[in-house]
Amino acid sequence: MTTLPVALTLNAGSSSLKFSLFDISAAPAQMAIGLVENIGGQPRLKADLGDTLARVERELPPHEAADHIGALATVLDLLRAAFADAKASVVGHRVVHGGPLHAEPIVVTEPVLAELRRLSPFAPIHQPHNIAGIEAARAAFPDALQVACFDTAFHRHHPKANDVFALPREYYDRGIRRYGFHGLSYEYISGELKRIAPQIHAGRVVVAHLGNGASMCGILGGRSVASTMGFTALDGLPMGTRCGQVDPGVIFYMVQQEGRTIDEVRDIFYTKSGLLGLSGISNDMRVLEGAGVPEANEAIDYFVFRIRRELGGLAAALGGLDALVFCGGIGENSRKIRRRICDGLDWIGLELDHDRNDSNARVISTDFSRARIMVIPTNEEIVIARAAQRLLSARQDAAS
């Protein structure tokens, strides 16, 4: 039987494991995609196994996905049954934090893994689970190359003025700086613009990655120059459960006046704030849009206000604006949010075509808009798969 070389990509979250399988006999071609959600609770498996196989969606016994190792074992059982002739030659991992040094994907070695563990305090709700995914994959595929792809890497060329905090200088050298996140998504969008709209790619672009995690990035000539996220994935825009930008004095107040511990404050900021905290209803924009109550509307108002405010700042950092690109679950699907963000922004060169927006067209600006407004579905998995294939090929070339 002929063995088909494949790349497995893993994106481990706090309670989820997203996966994709790619044929890498030529350019990466996606064969399957899915996720296990609610790991450690009542887990659920969802998977699309391509055109020839049925879509899978089912509840899992809790013991099958009590942790990420169990979730990966469940995923592998599914993929082995569906693609018996496939062999994972390389596993690519989304890793949220790469620190100040990593501007490119890297082969995971023991020293690299130790370094990623040291970065866990920089991304406390993400990094430990990314590492757990790597460890589970190493156990499952001891002969496969493991590749880490960093969400911070795309932003590592910022001018220092966009990277530094106004703290004593030694803190910058200790790694306390603005890193930016969602870099794999921004890398994909930048690459798509280069392919479909090279003139825009060469210009001044703001990309709004709007989902349960949300951020915006100013891109000049295909390179990130500014991001709304900073030292952690907590800063900037309000998100599903994360607060976004907040006066640091709030932390002092909660600790000193309310007697909260740092762990309690962290839990509030990361898991009880954002759209959920403001509305008291849900972190899901679809639920809030349909709720029709003042609390939900106020949460949406703040979300839109912060995006519009950050858009102005990023346009200033870029020296103007040639395009605004929406991606992410909210950015790709919420016509109402896109309309509320864009209406009245003709002063910055944006003029929304409501009919195009309502039909979810790729270009949703009018023909007279000085800056283009676009909707481009992001694809972090293909970015990981391409990097994994590239490093695998380099390893094979070096060995031959």
Q: Which of 48, 51, 85, 151 is catalytic?
A: 151
Q: How far is the C-alpha of 146 from the C-alpha of 364, rounded, in Å?
A: 40
Q: Which is it for strands 16-23 and 29-37: parallel, antiparallel or unpaired?
A: antiparallel
Residue 263 catalytic?
no
Q: How far is the C-alpha of 1 from the C-alpha of 114, rounded, in Å?
A: 39
Which letter does DSSP use for residue 122 in this model? G
Task: Work out whether the CA dihedral 100, 104, 105, 110 comes out positive or negative.
Answer: negative
Q: DSSP letters of 341-398?
A: HHTT-GGGTB-B-HHHHHTT-SB-B-TT-SBEEEE----HHHHHHHHHHHHHHHHHHH
Determine contact, residues 104/149, Cβ cutoff 8 Å: no
Q: How far is the C-alpha of 133 from the C-alpha of 72, rounded, in Å?
A: 8
Q: How far is the C-alpha of 203 from the C-alpha of 264, rounded, in Å?
A: 44
Determine contact, residues 14/127, Cβ cutoff 8 Å: no
Lookup: tokens for 83: 């693609």
What is the longest distance spanned by two Cα atoms in the chain? 69
Determine contact, residues 219/206, Cβ cutoff 8 Å: yes
What residues are labeled active site?
151
